[in-house]
Amino acid sequence: MNANIELPELRSVTALYGVGSALADKLAQLGIHTIQDVLFHLPFRYEDRTQTIPIGELQAGVRAAIEGDIELSEVSFRRRRQLLCRISDGTGWLTLRFFHFSNAQQTQLSRGTRLRCFGEVRSTTNGLEIVHPEYRRIIGNNIAVDTGDTLTPVYSATEGVQQTRLRQLTTNALQTLKNKSQHAIRDWLPNELLPDKQWPNLQTALEYVHRPPPDASIDLLTKGLHPAQRRLAFEELLAQQLSLRALRQDIQRDNSWSLTNGKDLLEQFLHSLPFKLTRAQARVWNDIEHDLAQPYPMLRLVQGDVGSGKTIVAALAAIKAVACGMQAAVMAPTELLAEQHARNFMQWMQPLNIEVALLTGKHSGAARDRLMQGLHNGTTGIVIGTHALFQSDVRFAKLALAIIDEQHRFGVHQRLLLREKGMQENCYPHQLIMTATPIPRTLAMTAYADLDVSVIDELPPGRTPVQTVVLPDGRRDSVVQRVHEACKQQHQVYWVCPLIEESELLSAQAAEDTYAKLSVALPDLRVLLLHGRMNAKQKDATMMQFKQHQADVLVATTVIEVGVDVPNASVMVIENAERMGLAQLHQLRGRVGRGSAHSSCVLLFQYPLSDIAKQRLHIMRETSDGFEIARRDLELRGPGELLGTKQTGLAQLRVADLMRDSDLLPAVQQAAEQLLKSSPDIVAALLKRWIGHGERFGKV
């Protein structure tokens, strides 16, 4: 790395002309410390200022380039001192308003001057105006200053560092490097690792994206498909991949407990189940058992569609930990799910003499103290809980395994917190992470490069596909009829009311209204209500009643979205389905079709239907395959939203786009492997360039 220090691009930004310590401090807020950082602060979009718009055709709210003559220029003292210029091009006029201006500017912007301006057009009571436009004077037929007419890059800016400044800086940085060294910025990638030999080299690519030439295609650049962008995207994806793998290598250098005992107990458990593991479950359990036997921490993600039977696999792992004299913790994202898990685990573990405890935010007082004691002295083998497991007074005797259910609901940092809690004698607990958000394989390998991934790609036998119908809300009466018929045939029904603007209170009220109406419409049926504002006891009792078929219809908010398991329920009605995302609809629908009965799902919607909502409903009707739905979701929304950068540990990408550039991923994988094997110096340099100094990553 010592040689790197000599690289001109690694010098401080203050080496650039005009950058003093005050500006350097502001740049630091953008993560810019070195000349290299300036160059990798990439534009996130481009503006086409080559096309001017006749002033008469302007509309408020658009960003536009205009050209015209100053007809009137005056300094006004209304409220604040300001310079007002009226500019006209024969089709109309508008006002330019400057609150900050120098004397020189005031002289320049005098009557008769021809200007080309750019900015956001606003509407005022005195007509249209642009506040602080970017402008330049046009003298004769010539454009007076700077870059000429090309696509203008737009950077993410910050207080005190505006677009023009950032543009100056990048020009400056590009120029400085050219002057300083023969090969300009150091290109770390050996040519043979690049999947496309036609790509421009690094310096050319950077120049192109920062200063697109006059003939650049705005279409290609906007879509991110220009070879210069692809070249940079490849390097960025590679850096991301390297950083996640480095994170994983770090973790695997830690110690953990090698868990090898427990054969008898596991067999006893498997015999007690009313079914056999599916082949997929057995295979995934095999992976996990192998991991747990290693003297370093397991870090495994189990992906499995809704209803594929992830809980049993988690139970097997937990039993193994306890059989080896250690403890296991299961973390669930909602109280409802934690309670359901606890009920299952207690039932399963009792014959095995393993003590199971439930810890949620609702526990307090003496009961909580007892619970803490059990965890601390080790009599409790398995604890199931919500976020409450992170509370500072939760202490484990010897936690060897942390299981995180429905991982998409947690951030990467939360799961690492649980890891820290289990640290003991220099050993870290194994981690098993479970998710029902299936994503395509190449994407998974990229987004979860810090994890090993197993997939339960098979549903337990005897499941019949859920038939899905989409109906406008006007058909509600016929749906109520259908609910009635189903219940008369001893089936049970979920009636789901949507979440309203993230307000638990309003959602609860909506559910209460529906509950009241359905109770009237279905007088001979037993209707129950479940929502997030009820306390844990009420929720639990309601769920129990429904599970034991002491009720026919459960009116609920989306609290039942994750994990809830009542096999006899075979009809689901979802109101305002047009408001929900695909993943959520799929999760909800996964609550039915768990028994042997034929199941159905009614998606009620209200007009107007947006285009995307229409497509979502169509996809739901077409398929029930979680992987297919995730793939379509990816197309509709892009991976950023599907995965959430929080959840994957993927830092924000600058040029790359996981979806658009997914064809690069195999080459990225390959390159990463090769570099990790033989070129640690290149790995370090790329991480420094793209990821920074551990600001975005770290073990927490």
Interacting residue ranges for Mg ion, rule: CB under 5 A: 563
The answer to the question of residue 436 lying near ligand ADP (CB under 6 A) is yes
Footprint of ligand ADP on 460-499 (CB under 6 A): 460
307 touches ligand ADP by CB under 6 A: yes
Residues ≥6 apart with Cβ < 8 Å to 511? 497, 529, 530, 531, 555, 556, 557
* Residue 438 contact, options Mg ion, ligand ADP, none, Cβ 5-8 Å cut-off depending on partner type: none
Our CB check for ligand ADP shows the closer of 281 and 380 to be 281
The contacts of residue 655 (CB under 8 Å, 6+ apart) are 42, 209, 224, 229, 232, 233, 236
Minimum separation from the CB atom of position 307 to Mg ion (A):
8
State in angstroms the smallest separation of the CB of 313 from ligand ADP. Answer: 8
Does 7 participate in binding ligand ADP (rule CB under 6 A)? no
Whether residue 287 contacts residue 300, with contact meaning beta carbons closer than 8 Å, is answered with: yes
Is residue 310 at the binding interface for ligand ADP, with CB under 6 A as the rule?
A: yes
Q: Is 23 exposed, middle or buried (0-12, 13-18, 19+ CB in 10 A)?
A: middle
Q: Which is nearer to Mg ion, 8 or 590 (CB)?
A: 590
Out of ligand ADP, Mg ion, none, what residue 567 binds, judged by CB under 5 to 8 A for its kind, is ligand ADP
- Of 161 and 319, nearer to ligand ADP (C-beta) is 319
Measured between alpha carbons, how far is 23 from 307 in angstroms, rounded to an integer? Answer: 56
281 binds ligand ADP (CB under 6 A): yes
- Percentages helix, strand, coil for the chain, rounded to the nearest 5? 45, 20, 35
Nearest distance from C-beta of residue 314 to Mg ion, angstroms: 8
**Binding positions for ligand ADP, 526-565, rule CB under 6 A:** 563, 565
Q: Which is nearer to Mg ion, 156 or 344 (CB)?
A: 344
State in angstroms the smallest separation of the CB of 386 from Mg ion: 15
| β-pair partners for 384 | 330, 358
> Residue type for 45, please?
R
Tokens 């390959």 label which residue? 670
In the bound state, the residue with its beta carbon closest to Mg ion is 563
Choices 66-74, 225-233, 305-313, 573-581 (CB under 6 A): range interacting with ligand ADP = 305-313
- Considering all CA atoms of the chain, what is the largest pairwise distance in Å, rounded to the nearest integer? 94
Return the number of the residue (196 or 267) whose C-beta is nearest ligand ADP.
Answer: 267
Residue 212: φ, ψ to 5°: -60, 135
Residue 304 interaction partner, one of Mg ion, ligand ADP, none, beta carbon < 5-8 Å per kind: ligand ADP
Which region among 21-29, 231-239, 307-315, 472-480 touches ligand ADP (by CB under 6 A)?
Answer: 307-315
Q: Please, what is the minimum distance in Å from the beta carbon of residue 446 to ligand ADP?
A: 24
Task: Give how far Cα 63 sits from Cα of 99, 122, 588, 635, Å.
Answer: 19, 9, 42, 29
- Tokens 């210029």 appear where? 85
Q: Taking the complex as a whole, how short is the minimal distance between the CB of residue 405 and Mg ion, in angstroms? A: 6
Nearer to Mg ion by Cβ, of 308 and 492: the residue is 308
Helices (H), 431-560: 441-447, 476-488, 504-521, 536-547
Stretch that binds ligand ADP, among 213-221, 304-312, 318-326, 547-555 (CB under 6 A): 304-312
Minimum distance, C-beta of residue 265 to ligand ADP, in the bound complex (Å): 19
Residue among 209, 312, 617, 686 that touches ligand ADP (CB under 6 A): 312
Residue 332: CB minimum distance to Mg ion, A: 9
> What does the block give as tokens for 278?
């599916």
Task: Characterize 544-565 residue by residue with b for buried, 16 or more Cβ atoms within 10 angstroms of its Cβ, and e for exposed.
Answer: eebbeeebbbbbbbbbbbbbbe
Q: For residues 582, 561, 328 and 256, what is the CA-based torsion angle, rounded to 10 degrees?
A: 10
Contact of residue 278 among ligand ADP, Mg ion, none (CB under 5-8 Å per partner type): ligand ADP
For ligand ADP, which is the closer residue by CB, 34 or 311? 311
Using CB positions, name the residue nearest to ligand ADP: 309
- Choose which of 277, 536, 676, 684 interacts with ligand ADP (CB under 6 A): 277
Helix or strand (DSSP H, E) at 226: none
Tell me which of 110, 275, 379, 537 binds ligand ADP, using CB under 6 A. Answer: 275
User: Does 333 contact ligand ADP by CB under 6 A?
Assistant: no
**Residue among 483 and 562 whose Cβ is closer to Mg ion:** 562
Pick from ligand ADP, Mg ion, none: which does 44 bind, CB < 5 to 8 A by kind? Answer: none
Q: What is the DSSP string of 107-132?
A: HHT-TT-EEEEEEEEEEETTEEEEES
Q: Which is nearer to ligand ADP, 102 or 548 (CB)?
A: 548
Site for ligand ADP in 31-90 (CB under 6 A): none
Closest approach, Cβ 416 to ligand ADP, in A, equals: 23
Which of 311, 380, 414, 431 binds ligand ADP (CB under 6 A)? It is: 311
Between CA 41 and CA 26 the distance in angstroms is 14
Nearer to ligand ADP, 311 or 407 (CB): 311
Burial 595-607 (b: 16+ CB within 10 A, else e): bebebbbbbbbee
Contact at 8 Å (CB) between 194 and 202? no
Q: Does 221 bind ligand ADP (CB under 6 A)?
A: no
- Return the one option of Mg ion, ligand ADP, none that residue 277 interacts with (CB less than 5 to 8 A, by type): ligand ADP
Give yes or no for residue 437 binding ligand ADP (CB under 6 A): no
- 594 makes contact with ligand ADP (CB under 6 A): yes
Residue 133 or 333 with smaller CB distance to Mg ion:
333
The answer to whether residues 387 and 406 touch, using CB atoms and an 8 Å cutoff, is no
Nearest to Mg ion of 404, 658 (CB atom): 404
Angle between helices 310-323 and 335-349 (to 10 degrees): 60
Burial 265-276 (b: 16+ CB within 10 A, else e): bbeebbeeeeee
Say whether residue 595 binds ligand ADP (CB under 6 A).
no
* β 569-574/600-605 pair status: parallel
Nearest to 321 by CA among 281, 352, 362, 276: 352
State the binding partner of 570 from Mg ion, ligand ADP, none, CB within 5 to 8 A by kind. none
Least distance (Å) between residue 580 CB and ligand ADP? 18
Triad 185, 189, 192: Cα angle to 5°: 140
* Residue 303 interacts with ligand ADP (CB under 6 A): yes or no: no
Nearest to 580 by CA among 560, 602, 599, 603: 603
220 binds ligand ADP (CB under 6 A): no
What binding mask, one character per residue, do residues 566-585 give for ligand ADP by CB under 6 A, x or -? -x------------------
- What letters, b where the CB count within 10 A reaches 16 and e where it falls short, cover 638-672? ebeebbbbebbbbbebebbbbebbbebbebbbebb
Residue 306 binding: pick among Mg ion, ligand ADP, none (C-beta 5-8 Å cut-off by kind): ligand ADP
Per CB under 6 A, 408 contacts ligand ADP: no
Q: Taking a C-beta distance cutoff of 8 angstroms, is the pair 14, 8 a contact?
A: no
Applying CB under 6 A, the residues found at the interface with ligand ADP are 275, 277-278, 281, 304, 306-312, 436, 460, 563, 565, 567, 594
